[in-house]
Amino acid sequence: MDARLDEDAEQFAAILDRARALAGDYLDSLDHRPAAATLPDRGLAVTATLPVEGVGALAALDRFSSDYDRYLSASPGAHYFGFVTGGGSPAALAADWLVATFDQNAQLNGDSCAPFIEAQAIDMLRQLLAWPATWTGVCVTGATMANYVGIAMARQWAGKMLGRDIAADGLWGLQPIAVFAGAAHSSTSKALSMAGFGRNALHSLPLLDGRETFDIAALEAALIAHGDAPKIVVASAGTVNTVDFDDLAALAALKQRHPFWLHVDAAFGGIAAASPARRALLAGIEAADSVTVDAHKWLNVPYDCAVAFTAQKHLSLQIEIFRNQSAYLPAPQAVAHNYLHLTPENSRRLRALPLWMSLVAYGQAGFAEIVERNCASAKLLGERIAAHPRFRLAAPVRLNVVCLALREDRIDAASQLAQLCKALHADGTAFVTPSMLDGKPVLRVAICNWRTTDADIEMTCEALFRLADALAMPGGASEPVASEISGETPDTISAQH
């Protein structure tokens, strides 16, 4: 055995203790390290010299820590509001450590309890959200992959209607298959590209005024216009900017009149259903054929974990697409926990264990409390923003995301907002990310973390307001308010900056 490896085998426990200490230091630092790291302008090295003789695990841990600790973001912390980022709950984090330790290949090979744990985790998640007992699910790496699984099943279903087994014979020569959506997440286009439909298969439906939900009447007209051709509808249950929901109950009714495959992207919005008070948002979801929900967002499981749900009656379609037969593997049986035949992956980690562990640890009440607390924090932030003279809400606060902008009479509000975002990042108190809403730049504050309390929101407001004041000081870019400058329109003023 290599000398270093041999030495490491001897001191395995000490190595794990060192890793545990590093993890503990990091967790303890979450409240005071910058919410997001600031990297050198030129980024970090992307090449490294492979050592001929290794240094051993303890020295490698030390090198990692001294080289990179300062460049880690506090993304599992209470002040990281970028993208849609959850933190790892204590039970989920502990479980994730064990996943790598046990290193089970989560397949139904008769040699491990792993697939049964995964099946239980999915079953408990289904109960948490009050979704139908007739659904089955499988863990994948994220909502993008869950959307891909749903779209691939829709493709197989559509092929059947056209007399083609697409999994066997491909899409070649078939008429284009229309996919309708409103404010679909970008990963839907990616899934359409991967599935061979092409990104241009997406027909964007008009949205309702001031909303991110599509017009059901426009969908009905489009379905009728497409006659007997198979159709696919991708509904959003929680858009990333404003957490808007397509009307799933109306879609369920429409589906009775004009059949289509209904895929629901409920990546984080679906978790709202953990709180019985919020379930009405998802009423009608039981009519869905496939559903995406992320575990590494609002469920506070570490990356990477999501669940692709499907109605049990479609399990055979799923197996047709993803089955993986070979001489040394048993033929696929149509059971819902035979995961080898249900997703793009073959070998796969037991990523369901953190989900299982946290559902057991915190139960219905625990997740309902996180949802309600995060929504209350978003509401509080919305009130603070709306009451502040420099800011405005760019959209109503529907759930756990706040979209804000500077008041529009302020000249050059767009570049000011970008500066404010940068200043907040550098300040380190909180981390938020920019987005576009109705063609205008906004900042998004997505509150998904089990640690976040109203005190964290007050700290974030204090930093935002302080930095906005500083930017607006004489010498800063914004102080004159456009309406105060006679004879010039806001456009001509901002054009000079």
User: By the criterion CB under 6 A, which residues form the site for ligand PLP?
Assistant: 84, 142-144, 185, 187, 238, 240, 265, 267-268, 294, 306
Angle at 251 between CA 245 and CA 254, to 5 degrees: 160
Residue 293 Cα to chain centre, angstroms: 8
Our CB check for ligand PLP shows the closer of 237 and 405 to be 237
Query: Any idea what DSSP says for residue 337?
Result: T
Tokens of 225: 């216009």
Task: State how far the Cα of 93 lies from the Cα of 40, in Å rounded to an integer.
Answer: 30
Residue showing the smallest CB distance to ligand PLP in the complex: 142
* Closest distance to ligand PLP from the beta carbon of 459 (Å): 25
* Closest distance to ligand PLP from the beta carbon of 400 (Å): 11
Our CB check for ligand PLP shows the closer of 143 and 301 to be 143
Task: State how far the Cα of 16 lies from the Cα of 14, in Å rounded to an integer.
Answer: 5
> In the chain, how long is the greatest CA-to-CA distance?
82
Pairing of strands 306-311, 290-294: antiparallel
* Closest distance to ligand PLP from the beta carbon of 477 (Å): 33
Of 178, 187, 236, nearest to 207 by C-alpha is 236
Task: State how far the Cα of 16 lies from the Cα of 61, in Å rounded to an integer.
Answer: 10
Our CB check for ligand PLP shows the closer of 291 and 315 to be 291
DSSP-based three-state secondary structure for 387: helix
Packing angle of the helix pair 57-68, 12-29 (nearest 10 deg):
20
Our CB check for ligand PLP shows the closer of 27 and 437 to be 437
Our CB check for ligand PLP shows the closer of 148 and 391 to be 148
Our CB check for ligand PLP shows the closer of 186 and 489 to be 186
* Cis peptide bond upstream of 8, omega within 30: no
Of 329, 342, 400, nearest to 122 by C-alpha is 342
Count Cα atoms within 13 angstroms, Cβ side, for 169: 9
* Closest distance to ligand PLP from the beta carbon of 234 (Å): 10
Of 107, 94, 82, 122, nearest to 27 by C-alpha is 94
Our CB check for ligand PLP shows the closer of 143 and 443 to be 143
**Rg of the chain (C-alpha set):** 25
Of 367, 218, 222, nearest to 298 by C-alpha is 367
Our CB check for ligand PLP shows the closer of 187 and 318 to be 187
Our CB check for ligand PLP shows the closer of 223 and 306 to be 306
Tokens of 430: 């909180």
* Closest distance to ligand PLP from the beta carbon of 183 (Å): 9
* Closest distance to ligand PLP from the beta carbon of 433 (Å): 12
Our CB check for ligand PLP shows the closer of 154 and 171 to be 154
* Closest distance to ligand PLP from the beta carbon of 314 (Å): 20
* Closest distance to ligand PLP from the beta carbon of 166 (Å): 24
* Closest distance to ligand PLP from the beta carbon of 84 (Å): 5
215 and 269 Cβ atoms separated by less than 8 Å: no
Task: State how far the Cα of 196 lies from the Cα of 53, in Å rounded to an integer.
Answer: 46
* Closest distance to ligand PLP from the beta carbon of 306 (Å): 5
Of 69, 85, 67, nearest to 29 by C-alpha is 69
